[in-house]
Amino acid sequence: MRNLNNLATFVQVAKHGSVTKASKKLHLTQQAVSYQIKKLEDELGVLLFKREHRKIYLTQEGRTLLKTAEKHLSALEHDVLRVKYDHAAIVGSIKIGTTMELANLMLVPIIVSFKKRYPQVCVELALQDDAMTVNNIIHGDSDLGLVVFSQKPHC
């Protein structure tokens, strides 16, 4: 497959059942959509649509292609977005308040993994008692706090 745009255009025409509707969705002229379908048909050596009385219908080959094309184009789009956003520059700092016990038990492995993924984010861990953590959250001195209460806190 030399041109994924032709395949994506095919999927839109098949979904909308119309070159006109697909052209509007794709922001292309009807001629451009028809040309892309023709190029794809020529490349594959089969007709993908039957054209009857200004309507189009998928051929058996078209139905077969549509099943796999939708799945693969969707997977490709998902992967492209994942790559794009996984490596987006996330920068800044975050201050997390918690006790030494909770930090060792829960936060350290999470922070290590987070720092590998987002090395430009500065993570500050403030080791303190639960009351101080709650106080710092309330006053905006910490971004996050991890505490354990055996009863409802008095804030």
Predicted confidence at residue 118, as pLDDT, reads 84
Write the pLDDT tens digit of every residue in 60-92: 999 999 999 999 999 999 988 888 776 667 788
Cα angle vertex 104, ends 119, 111, to 5°?
15
Question: Which string of DSSP letters, residue by residue, matches 67-92?
Answer: HHHHHHHHHHHHHHHHHHHHTS---E
pTM for the model: 0.56
4-86 carries CATH number 1.10.10.10: yes
Going by C-alpha positions, the residue among 140, 131, 139 that lies closest to residue 98 is 131
The answer on pLDDT for 48 being more than 90 is yes
Return the CATH number of the domain spanning residue range 92-146.
3.40.190.10
Indicate the domain borders of the chain: 4-86, 92-146
> 98-154, pLDDT tens digit by residue?
999 988 888 888 999 999 888 889 999 999 999 999 999 999 999 999 998 777 666
- C-alpha of 49 from chain center: 32
